[in-house]
Structure 1
Amino acid sequence: MLDVLTLLTGVAALLLAAWCGWAAYRDQPTKDWHFIGMAVVTVLTLAQLVIGIVRLARGEDPEQGTVIFVSYLLGAFACVPAAGFMSLAERTRWGSVTVAAGGVVLAVLQVRLYDIWGG
């Protein structure tokens, strides 16, 4: 895959996790600015999803299998939006904790995607 995009997405996810973790520490729910950050991270994962599918369509194969690669791509794409929707349901500090956890999970998924592709 694209190593730079994977790294950028992982770093952005960790920054989002730290930002929302700080909000949770200060006993604040997710705010509009947090949702803008989630949108930026989601756009990065969308770009990663599209590039991954295009590379598969061109005939390139991940080392550990196409099915698991596509599964991880879809999971990475859905991770932050799912956490964002859950934070809307919980308008307390725990909503911020949920998004922070989603950011950490996305960063771990980025490492795994890099491994699956053969990095």
Structure 2
Amino acid sequence: MLDALTVAVAVAALALAAWCGHAAYRDQPTKDWHFIGMAVVTVLALAQLVVGVVQLARGERPEQGMAVFIAYLIGSFAAVPAAGFLSLTERTRWGSITVAAGAVVLAVLEVRLYDIWGN
């Protein structure tokens, strides 16, 4: 996997978590700007998904198993959009907390993806 892309996704996810956590602290729901941030993080996760699939197609294999790697790759792509969708149903500060939690989950998944790939 591309180490720089993994770091970029994790850092962007943590920045989104801090931003939405700050909104929750101020008792605000997710707003349009937060959804733009979620879109940026999701595009980075999509790029990582594509890179991971291309590397698998070229014959490269993760150290800890392909099935686990694919599951984490799909999960990391789905974490922020799922949290964003849930925040649309909860238009209070809890929506912001949900997105912040989803972004933290994505950052943790990135660390685990790095370990699974075996760099």
- State the Cα deviation string for residues 32-87 of structure 1 (Å, max 9, x = none): 00000000000000000000000000000000000000000000000000000000
How far the C-alpha of 1:7 sits from its partner, in A, is: 0.2
How far the C-alpha of 1:27 sits from its partner, in A, is: 0.1
Match of 2:76, as an amino acid? Answer: A
Q: After the TM superposition, which parts of structure 1 deviate over 4 Å for at least 4 consecutive aligned residues?
A: none
Question: What is residue 64 of structure 2 aligned with on the other side?
Answer: 64
Q: Distance in 1 between matches of 2:45 and 2:69?
A: 14
- Name stretches of at least 5 consecutive residues in structure 1 with no aligned partner: none
- State the Cα deviation string for residues 61-117 of structure 1 (Å, max 9, x = none): 000000000000000000000000000000000000000000100000000000000
Q: Distance in 2 between matches of 1:44 and 1:89?
A: 24
What are the equivalent positions in structure 2 for 1:1-119 lying under 5 Å apart? 1-119=1-119
Q: Distance in 1 between matches of 2:28 and 2:34?
A: 11
Q: Distance in 2 between matches of 1:15 and 1:39?
A: 13
Q: Percent identity?
A: 78
Q: Distance in 2 between matches of 1:13 and 1:47?
A: 14
Match of 2:71, as an amino acid? Answer: S
Normalising by the residue count of structure 2, what TM-score does the alignment of the two structures yield?
Answer: 1.00
Q: Distance in 2 between matches of 1:2 and 1:65?
A: 18
Aligned positions, number? 119
Match of 1:2, as an amino acid? Answer: L
Q: Distance in 1 between matches of 2:33 and 2:60?
A: 38
Normalising by the residue count of structure 1, what TM-score does the alignment of the two structures yield?
Answer: 1.00
